[in-house]
Structures are given as structure tokens and as C-alpha cells.
Amino acid sequence: MAENNTEKTCEGCGAKCCRELNFDLEEPKTDEDFDSWKWILSHNNVYIYKDPKAGWCVCFETDCKFLDEKSKCMIYAKRHKLCEKYSHEECVKYTKLKYEPVLRTFEDIDNLRKSMQK
């Protein structure tokens, strides 16, 4: 959780950024690529989306084990560098980026593939 912005705070957020992992993905091109994306979506609490800035990404919706029951970081003073660098300028609460499309099912992937073939 970032606490270094004087105007924006983490108050009332519920630690959205500590409850998911996001990684870049290459745009799918081959049968194997699309099959891999279906494999990804075969797992619970995982979806694929296109970020207008970062491109294709996969999101794993899973809580950090260092969150306490009040959504506070239990290792805040020693938190990871990634957490330390994360700012409100890019955080999921304050950036209103529209992710389009969001893929959650095999059908979503098939539809994407059809739209890419047009």
C-alpha cells in the first residue's frame, strides 16, 4: 500500500492493490497461444485483460498473505520494493483506466480470436 501521496490516501480502499497479481502477456497469434490462454482461464480467480497502457495482462485475484484483518500491511516497514514504489498515480483505486476487453471464459477467447481474424 502506498502512503506517500499527500493528496490521495489509502483510507477506505480495502487494499485493492494487495489483493491481485498482474503480469504482461504477449498478444496471442498461434493455436498454441490461444490454447495457453484457455489454460490460464481454466484456473480459479484469474482473468485476462487489455490495459490501454500496458497491453495484454493476466490478473490473479489473490490476497497477499501479509494483509491483516483490517486490510493493513503487517510488514509495512519492511515491505517489498515493488510495494514501496507503487504510487497512487498508477494504483487501481485512483486510475480510471478502462480495461477492454476482459476475458474470463473460453468463449471470450474464441470471440477475441474471431475479431482478430477479421
Q: Which residues 68-87 are close enough to bind ligand SF4 by CB under 6 A?
A: 73, 75, 79-80, 83, 86
State the Cα–Cα distance between residues 43 and 70, nearest whole angstrom: 28
Q: Sheet of 20-24: strands edge to edge?
A: 20-24, 55-61, 46-51, 102-103
Number of chain residues interacting with ligand SF4 (CB under 6 A): 22
Please count the other Cβ atoms lying within 10 Å of the Cβ belonging to residue 24: 10
State the Cα–Cα distance between residues 38 and 83, nearest whole angstrom: 30
State the Cα–Cα distance between residues 39 and 13, nearest whole angstrom: 32
46 is a site residue for ligand SF4 (CB under 6 A): no
Q: Which of 67, 99, 108, 113 binds ligand SF4 (CB under 6 A)?
A: 67
Q: Which of 66, 99, 108, 113 binds ligand SF4 (CB under 6 A)?
A: 66
54 is a site residue for ligand SF4 (CB under 6 A): no
64 is a site residue for ligand SF4 (CB under 6 A): yes
40 is a site residue for ligand SF4 (CB under 6 A): no
Instruction: Provide, for the chain, the percentages of residues in helix, strand and coil under a 3-state DSSP scheme, each rounded to the nearest 5.
Output: 30, 20, 55
Please name the helix (run of DSSP H) or strand (run of DSSP E) that holds residue 59, with its range, or none: strand 55-61
For ligand SF4, the closer of residues 5 and 111 by Cβ is 5
Residues that bind ligand SF4 (CB under 6 A): 1-2, 10, 13, 15-18, 64, 66-67, 73, 75, 79-80, 83, 86, 88, 91-94
